[in-house]
Amino acid sequence: MSHIATGIVQRRQTGSSANKAVLMFMAACASDDGSGIWTSKANIAADLEMSKRTVQRAVDALLAASLISEVGQRKCRNGFTVEYRINIEAIEKLPSTRDTMTPLDTKSTGDTMSPVSPCHLTGVTMSPHGVSQCHPNLTGTILEPLCAANAVNTGLSDFFDRFFAVYPRGGDREKTEAALKKAVCQDGVSCETILSGTKAYAAEQKGNHPRYVAYSENWVEQKRWLQFATTAKPVSPDVILEQRAKAIRERQSWVGRHVSAASARELISRELVTVEQCRAAGVAL
């Protein structure tokens, strides 16, 4: 994060609140010279609570005005992310947002030497109102960084990458990340609990046709890790088979879609379920 780039962008007119918001976001991610910005438009839209299309239009407008430039690409799991650079010199030439402000009259402060002076703006010494600082930037004020949640976001990003590295079938990444974030941040589920369940599910589905494996976003939204997560011991194949057989006997809603014919025949051969139970649960044989 660059306070220098952020300060320059903050006091310049861009002609659009959406353009300004996106440019401020980029400045918060940039180095002091405006370089080193790589973040997906989907993440910008989520953080700014805008539609992805609005962010795309704002980026296009900033590029057309030469306020930012595309300088390269960064590889990511879904292909690549465009790397941008803020053109600081172009930003500095924009009209200032503070040109229309009326400077404080030094006579009202009673102090022409001090940059910060306690005074009452009306000059009324008997006013019941408290004395206020006239200087807009109070000495000792601590500005909290715009990206104070970066540590949390970075941890979640690492967690997302670990999840997708293990999960046997990808799906809609944005929906999956949103569901994982809700589980961790709102429901209080630990990342390791979800990853443990994910690894167990991947082991269970090994060798199955992809069409029998749940999409990642559905698996997370249905909290399927609760059926597979372990805390200490590795998952035993016999335990997994017993859990699957129990789900078939109880006719749980997901078994018809996610238990393959091969898995069902194995359960029948082990006499854990019957052909009738499989058919009743909607499992194809």
Cα 33 to its chain centre, rounded Å, is: 25
Are 9 and 24 spatial neighbours (Cβ–Cβ below 8 Å)?
yes
Instruction: Set out the domains of the chain in order of their start, with CATH numbers.
Output: 3-92 (1.10.10.10), 151-230 (no CATH), 236-285 (no CATH)
Q: What whole-number percentage of the chain has pLDDT above 70? A: 76
Q: How many CB atoms sit inside 10 A of residue 115's CB?
A: 9
SS3 content of the chain, % helix, strand, coil (to 5): 50, 10, 40
Provide the sign of the torsion angle of the four alpha carbons 152, 170, 174, 201, taken in this order.
negative
Mean pLDDT (whole number) for 64-89: 83
Q: Residue 78 pLDDT > 70, yes or no?
A: no
Higher pLDDT residue, 237 or 230? 237
SS in 3 state form for 85-130? Answer: EECHHHHHCCCECCCCCCCCCHHHHCCCCCCCCEECCCCCCCCCCC
Q: Which residue has the higher pLDDT, 34 or 12?
A: 12
Sequence-distant (6+) residues with CB within 8 A of 106 are: 112
Residues 56-76: what's their mean pLDDT? 86
Model confidence at 211: pLDDT above 60: yes
Lowest mean pLDDT among 71-80, 136-145, 253-262, 272-281: 136-145
pLDDT (tens digit per residue) in 146-166: 443 444 555 688 888 889 888
H or E segment to which residue 200 belongs = helix 191-205
Q: Is 60 exceeded by the pLDDT of residue 90?
A: yes
Q: How confident is the model at residue 144 (pLDDT cuts 50, 70, 90)?
A: very low
Between 232 and 28, whose confidence is greater? Answer: 28
The DSSP call for residue 182 is I
